[in-house]
Structure 1
Amino acid sequence: MTELVVLCGTEPDGVERTITRMRELDPGVVVLHHDLRDLGRGVVHRRLRDAGRDERTVLELAHGCVSCTIREDVLPTLAALAGTVDRVVLHLDPRLEPEPVCWALGAVVFEPPGGGEACTATDLVDLRGVVAVLDPDHWLDDATGDATLPERGLSTLPDDERTVAQLAVGQAEFADVLVLTRAVGPGGADRTAAVLDRLCPTAPRLLAGRADHRVFCDGLDPASRRGVPGGVHDPLLRGTPPLEADSGVRTLLFSARRPFHPDRLHDAIDSLLDGVVRARGRVWLATRPDAVLWVESAGGGMRIGHAGDWLAGADEQAWTEAGDQRRALAALAWHPRWGDRAQDIVAICHDADPDEIDAALRSALLTDAEIAAGEDAWAALPDPFGWAHDEPCAESEPVGPAALDDPTVRSDREGDL
């Protein structure tokens, strides 16, 4: 079966050096790239190259969006290449995060060119994993800032208000292999190295010009994602990241078994923005006893969205659909009153005190008196969160299938994160 590697990064020179190295290691590799710089005008520039060709095609789409590009050309092109070549590198446009693209490769059903049964791309190719290229001289600044993609000239897509931090962190965190444009300090002496040790502990770090065959995602840690999105109820720590402080970088593990007061959480949520590279986890609001909310921040950008329901109070069908792992974990941590409801958040801090964040979050939990008042009283509490909520505050809007299927945003659907 044809092997597929997804390549991402915002450093054009570093990405091109990586592609050059890939072609040195495997002269037969095919590199597929869709340039989205004119996507707002409904135009995509496709480039397909291997040892014998460098083919450029201008595509005009009826609807200028990332989702249409993937459905109408990326997937059919991969299907046409499947079985005809040994290896394909899907080089993503710099503005794309790999996780929602990989979700589309494994979940979007389409009809292959020339006929055949409807299938997904991963039915036709072996998705080996994701390679992310980053420049350690700039990556940490990008991953901790609050500049938006349009402000940095990285996106001209309408309504794309993601931050550079969300893109930088999303690319590195989901990678199975990191390719660096220069070496970083050994043993965590470099702060960037310390952050990467905690953000993506299973990903080997290679140098762009001297990458070995691991750049094709060969011989990786068994815990590697290999392009498979995680579930909302998966463990929040992947692999075995160090938990002790290193170069000023510390990890907060926050857990609690009582609900958050929505208004107080809204005030406390800023503690996950300043001085934090990445925060992610599951949240339970007193006003929404059935809903699992997923919180995810990077630098100065945050998104909170509905991510399914708790199993407490759920019917038999929900338990069946939950899967063996989630049912087992829920049973092990089952609370006689709250069931599987819990607060679980992990934050990687580079310039913030984890103890202060922990205190801010604990102050947002319901007090004993509020717990005693009961769920009818909780339902009347002020709730500033919509079903999808962004920080800095903007008008809340519902998370629906259109948003979840758009690879320019991170999905809030259960099982996609």
Structure 2
Amino acid sequence: MSTRPITTVAPSPVDRRPRVTVLAGFSPHATEAVARSLLVTDPRLLLVRHDLTRVRDGHVRRIVRTATTLLEDETVHLVHGCVACTLSEDVLPTLVRLSRTHPASDVILALPGVVEPESLARCAAGAPVRFDSYVTVVEADGFLDELSTTDDLRDRGLHAADEDRRSVASVVARQVEYADTIVVWGRPDHRTETMLHHLAPWATQLRVGDTTTIDCTGLAARVRGTGRHDPRKPGLLGRALEGYPIGVHDPGDSMLFRARRPFHPQRLFDALPELTGEALRGRGQLWLATQPDVAIGWESAGGGISLTSLGYWLDALDAERWDEASDLRRLAADLDWDPYHGDRRTVLAFIGLDGDADDLTARLTDCLITDDELAGGSEARAGISDPFAGFFPVDPEED
């Protein structure tokens, strides 16, 4: 018999703070219907929502209620009228306050239709609020139309600030992609179901509103108290850097493109109009031959494209700075390290293809630098024409 002393591990403290379930969705009707369906199942449950109709004038209406009682209906005056100000100046303070004044009440936070849940998650980083799940409500009827429209929010009078130039398609896509749970309101066709799966293969999908009655208790059991939200998971553009999947390869509807050599900036620039029209949604990371230090995020939707700096590749940093990256990112880099390129790699997902996946792969491959250009070394690549020069600062003070 072993004579070693028995050691005990203290159990982790139980988090008894109220749980916040975040509801996002571009359709106010569907999101409100799901919120009210959840509200009637628990008399202590609180519903918080904000009306952004006058946000550009610096006014936001906050409503807090239970299933039977209106607790608050106030107009909040903001210093600057925008979504970020609303989240930081009122939404988060309201959640913190309610968790203290109503410690026995969980909260449903119904975001306005133009708010992306990842924006809330960024603002909430480190806040003393217990986010249980991020749920996106999708109205089956019209979802594909919104995902394929070329309208901007401004075209519909929905922009949340004068400088808000987001497209409808990008907002709809981001709301679905960040969700850990998707509630489909109505009766989706096969195409809609497929698109939702490819946009967010990591999310749990539920369907309601396709019959004359709604099982509110059953819906609440599958949406509330799931603990599906992982606050450590990065935003979508940073997921490939940390080894998370960003899509599935299904040549009929979606594809993944991977490469361990950089893009030729001029050829990529010239091909952008064709590439953005090949799929309803594109996302991921890439690198350019003329800017080898910076990882570049790619987003395309509604016929438009956004390219943004994701910071330095680890291989471009001194080893002592690697601790600035997360454990998962360092692990992902180590598992896929290239002796020549380090952790530099392109990973792009294209969803809702309107063409041939093999043809799109060939077009992207044609935009990469050639063997001869690669053999020329960094000095030769530095002389390549770069239409993206200066677009991707990695110094936060320059961004």
- 2:268, 2:367 within 8 Å by CA — same for their partners in 1? yes
- 1:282, 1:294 within 8 Å by CA — same for their partners in 2? yes
Q: In 1, distance between residues paired with 2:29 and 2:395?
A: 37
- Is the partner of 2:355 in helix, strand or coil? coil
Q: In 2, distance between residues paired with 1:11 and 1:80?
A: 28
% identical aligned pairs? 35
Question: Residues 227 and 127 (structure 1 numbering): CA distance in 2 closer, same or farther, change over 3 Å?
Answer: farther
Question: Residues 156 and 76 (structure 1 numbering): CA distance in 2 closer, same or farther, change over 3 Å?
Answer: closer
- Establish whether residue 192 from structure 1 lines up as the match of residue 192 from structure 2: yes
- Structure 1 position 328, deviation (Å): 2.2
AA aligned to 1:199 is L
Q: In 1, distance between residues paired with 2:395 and 2:151?
A: 26
Question: Residues 276 and 9 (structure 1 numbering): CA distance in 2 closer, same or farther, change over 3 Å?
Answer: same
- Is the partner of 2:196 in helix, strand or coil? helix
Task: Name which of 58, 65, 90 aligns with 2:109.
Answer: 90
- Is the partner of 2:298 in helix, strand or coil? strand
AA aligned to 2:115 is L
1:5-404 pair list within 5 angstroms: 5-50=21-66, 51-83=68-100, 84=102, 85-107=104-126, 120=127, 123=128, 125-185=129-189, 190-201=190-201, 202-208=203-209, 209-210=214-215, 212-214=219-221, 216-219=223-226, 225=230, 228-230=233-235, 231-232=238-239, 233-235=241-243, 237=245, 243-244=249-250, 249-385=252-388, 388=391
- 2:262, 2:288 within 8 Å by CA — same for their partners in 1? yes
Gaps of 5+ in 1: 108-119, 390-397, 405-417
Q: In 1, distance between residues paired with 2:28 and 2:376?
A: 57
Q: Deviations over 1:35-66 (max 9, x none)?
A: 11211111111111113225211111222222
- Structure 1 position 274, deviation (Å): 1.5
- 2:242, 2:330 within 8 Å by CA — same for their partners in 1? no
Q: Which has the higher Rg, Structure 1 or Structure 2?
A: 2
AA aligned to 1:216 is V
- Is the partner of 1:312 in helix, strand or coil? helix
Question: Residues 242 and 312 (structure 1 numbering): CA distance in 2 closer, same or farther, change over 3 Å?
Answer: closer
Question: Residues 279 and 234 (structure 1 numbering): CA distance in 2 closer, same or farther, change over 3 Å?
Answer: farther
Q: In 2, distance between residues paired with 1:35 and 1:401?
A: 33
- Structure 1 position 288, deviation (Å): 0.7
- Is the partner of 2:280 in helix, strand or coil? strand
Task: Provide runs of 4+ in structure 1 moved above 4 Å.
Answer: 224-228, 386-389, 398-404
- 1:276, 1:299 within 8 Å by CA — same for their partners in 2? no
Gaps of 5+ in 2: 1-16
- 1:272, 1:297 within 8 Å by CA — same for their partners in 2? no
Q: Deviations over 1:16-39 (max 9, x none)?
A: 211110112222211111211211
Comparing 377-386 with 303-312, which one deviates more in the overlay? Answer: 377-386
Q: Hey, what does 1:2 align to over in structure 2?
A: 18
Q: Deviations over 1:268-316 (max 9, x none)?
A: 2334421412211111101111111111122323211110111114212
- Structure 1 position 324, deviation (Å): 2.6
- Structure 1 position 357, deviation (Å): 1.4
- Is the partner of 2:340 in helix, strand or coil? coil
AA aligned to 1:295 is W
AA aligned to 1:99 is E
- 1:102, 1:229 within 8 Å by CA — same for their partners in 2? no
- Structure 1 position 156, deviation (Å): 5.0
TM normalised by structure 2 equals: 0.85
- 2:242, 2:332 within 8 Å by CA — same for their partners in 1? no
AA aligned to 1:257 is R
Question: Residues 296 and 336 (structure 1 numbering): CA distance in 2 closer, same or farther, change over 3 Å?
Answer: same
TM normalised by structure 1 equals: 0.82
- 2:83, 2:160 within 8 Å by CA — same for their partners in 1? no
- Structure 1 position 386, deviation (Å): 5.4
Q: In 1, distance between residues paired with 2:331 and 2:155?
A: 45
AA aligned to 2:273 is D
Question: Residues 294 and 40 (structure 1 numbering): CA distance in 2 closer, same or farther, change over 3 Å?
Answer: same
- 2:117, 2:134 within 8 Å by CA — same for their partners in 1? yes
Q: In 1, distance between residues paired with 2:312 and 2:337?
A: 15
Q: In 2, distance between residues paired with 1:403 and 1:95?
A: 28
Q: Which has the higher contact order (CA 8 A, sep 6+)?
A: 1
